[in-house]
Amino acid sequence: MTPSSNPILLFLVALIAFLYSSIGIGGSTGYLAVMSFFEIEPNLMATTALLLNVVVAGIAFFNYAHAGYVEKRLLFLFPLTSIPAAFVGGYFRLNSDVYFALLYIILTYVSIRMLFASEKTKNSRPSQTPPIWQALLLGTAIGLLSGMVGMGGGIILSPMIILMNWATTKQAASTAAGFVFVNSLSGLLGRYFGGNFVFGNIGVILLPIGIISALIGSYFGARKFSNVWVQRVLGVVLLIAVIKFWAEYF
């Protein structure tokens, strides 16, 4: 059975797209974690994850924007440096050992951060505006990692926005969705020009699944779900994958 026809992989990608889109994130860390257990080549993994990010995050941003959660002061600031940095990151060619080590270092951080997610609502208004230099530096760092590994970076940006009290949870989700969309496009371009863009049957099958799941998940996330509890559920799921990887790695 090929990975693209494995029902477990298809179900997990659908679930990840549903859950991640509900908190305004493309889901690349989830897709990468799942695909890493099916012996898929790293460049194919990264390209497929970024393509899924584009469609899932784009749909999530539309639903969050339609619900009135766009925060313009953040939406246009972080991508100024993340877009070129993601292009540069996507241009790099990493060997398999370096790729998986870097990927799971990021996933370890993400899983722990999600487990301890906190909520900021409209009643707890953000009290700070990010200094321009800090936002640009953060955008650069996230963009570079995003392009190299094949993720959109929203999974890192969203918790940082909440932690620094720059926006509410829903506004952070909206900002992250827009950030992931443009960042993933830039990473894909970098991979293409760097010769790291690999597309296969798995992408053809997973993209429609991602679209349908994101349409449902982002609708409920913007209007019904508590983002913090979805993040905690995802944190548990990712932590299981992380523990399994590091146990085998060592």
Q: State residue 53's pLDDT score.
A: 92
Return the higher-pLDDT residue of 48 and 5: 48
pLDDT band of 125, cuts 50, 70, 90: low
Q: How many residues does the chain have?
A: 250
Task: Please return the burial class of 67, using the count of CB atoms within 10 Å of its CB with bins 0-12, 13-18 and 19+.
Answer: middle
- Supply 144's token pair: 């570079």
Quick one: average pLDDT of 128-132? Answer: 79
Quick check: helix, strand or coil at residue 68? coil
Quick one: average pLDDT of 5-31? Answer: 87
Q: State residue 119's pLDDT score.
A: 60
Range of the domain at 194: 3-249
Give the span between the Cα atoms of 104 and 109, in whole angstroms.
8
161 CB contacts (<8 Å, ≥6 apart)? 74, 167, 171, 172, 175, 176
Question: CA nearest 151: which of 11, 42, 225?
Answer: 42
Say whether pLDDT at 171 is over 60: yes
| Total domain count, the chain | 1
Q: State residue 107's pLDDT score.
A: 78
Say whether pLDDT at 142 is over 80: yes
Give the span between the Cα atoms of 241 and 227, in whole angstroms.
21
